[in-house]
């Protein structure tokens, strides 16, 4: 706001100086008209800014990406636990790490702790998660 007021005062001051320096005649009317037009545009600039539509936010992000990533990670972790129980009848503890990059959410890391230490089950879960498209997968037997 301070910058706008200084700019408006500067343009008005400049218009007064120009109107005093320009000699009388046809050129005076043209220059006075242009200077007044510039003053009007500077003074109504905040009103024009209200109606300006922009696709990208002008000041930072609209949302807290770290909070959204944390919530998304928690949700994905619980849903993966349910999916693995339905698919393999295995009790697991899952931790899915989600990060916000390049305008989208991406799964960066998946950890699955299997309550039963069956090596065959661990390999099946790992193969299934790879097939589904997860990356950086860690599947291990949970120590009791």
| pLDDT (tens digit per residue) in 109-137 | 999 999 876 788 888 889 999 998 888 88
Q: What is the mean pLDDT of the chain?
A: 84
User: What pTM value is reported for the model?
Assistant: 0.55
Q: What percent of the chain has a predicted confidence (pLDDT) above 90?
A: 15
Judged by average pLDDT, the poorest of 4-18, 52-66, 81-95, 126-140 is 52-66
Q: pLDDT band for 35, please (50, 70, 90 cuts).
A: confident
pLDDT score recorded for residue 54:
59
Cα–Cα distance measured from residue 85 to residue 114, given in angstroms and rounded to the nearest whole number: 10
Q: What is the dihedral of CA 123, 126, 128, 130, to 10 degrees?
A: -140
User: What is the reported pLDDT for 79?
Assistant: 92
Residues 6+ apart with CB under 8 A from 90: 84, 114, 115, 116, 121, 125
């Amino acid at each position: 706001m301070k910058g706008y007021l200084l700019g408006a005062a500067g343009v008005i001051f400049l218009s007064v100086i120009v109107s005093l320096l320009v000699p009388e005649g046809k050129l005076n009317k043209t220059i006075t008209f242009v200077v007044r037009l510039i003053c009007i545009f500077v003074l109504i600039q905040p009103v024009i800014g209200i109606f300006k539509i922009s696709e990208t936010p002008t000041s930072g992000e609209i949302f807290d990406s770290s909070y959204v990533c944390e919530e998304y990670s928690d949700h994905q972790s619980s849903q993966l636990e349910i999916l693995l129980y339905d698919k393999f009848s295995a009790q697991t503890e899952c931790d899915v790490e989600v990060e916000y990059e390049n305008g989208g959410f991406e799964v960066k890391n998946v950890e699955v702790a299997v309550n039963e230490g069956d090596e065959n089950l661990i390999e099946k879960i790992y193969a299934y998660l790879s097939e589904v498209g997860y990356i950086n997968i860690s599947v291990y037997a949970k120590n009791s």
